[in-house]
Amino acid sequence: MTTQDEADLLSRLPSTDEIAEHSLFETMLLRDYLAAARKVVCATPGFAAIEQERFGLGLAGVLAVFAMRVRLTSGATEDLWVVAGDPPSAVLPLAAAPNPFAAAEAYVALAERWAGAVLADEPELPRLQAPATPAHARDVAAKMHTIRRIVLPALTGIAEGGHG
């Protein structure tokens, strides 16, 4: 169910049609991440259609955060953050983060929990679009370490100064 706060947030973010970076290569990477985000959402059980999609923020070559409103087969709508890029994709409820930067932070925390759960051979895993193998878990953990130390600080500047 879409709340007024979620509707307001979606309306403040730029359309995905407006993705344009400093170079054609960066723009193409971010649009590839959008295609990956759409694929993840469309594979969600109960999915019927994407009604709206917005660009939150992104760093070409690493990851991008999108906000999407989807219609479910039940007729209800759901607002989601979708993170896609080099690391495995994930979907979070829009209510889980108040802005795209917070969604990126929530994604990193989810991916770190996922990697830890896989390596500990826990039966219940957070949802991450990656094979649950120790090799993938180590790879995800290493990427999240880099993202937490280097990328999130860079995204802070992007979030404060603009979207892309």
Taking only the tens place, the pLDDT of each residue in 99-141 is 999 999 999 999 999 999 999 999 888 888 899 999 999 999 9
Give the model's pLDDT for residue 163.
Answer: 46
Boundaries of domain holding 63: 4-161
Query: pLDDT value at position 83?
Result: 97
101-104: which pairs have CB atoms within 8 A and are 24 or more residues apart? 101/57, 101/65, 101/152, 101/155, 101/156, 101/159, 103/56, 103/65, 103/67, 104/57, 104/63, 104/65, 104/152, 104/155
Q: In the chain, how many domains are there?
A: 1
Kindly report, residue by residue over 23-71, the tens digit of the pLDDT.
888 889 999 999 999 999 999 899 999 999 999 998 888 999 999 999 9
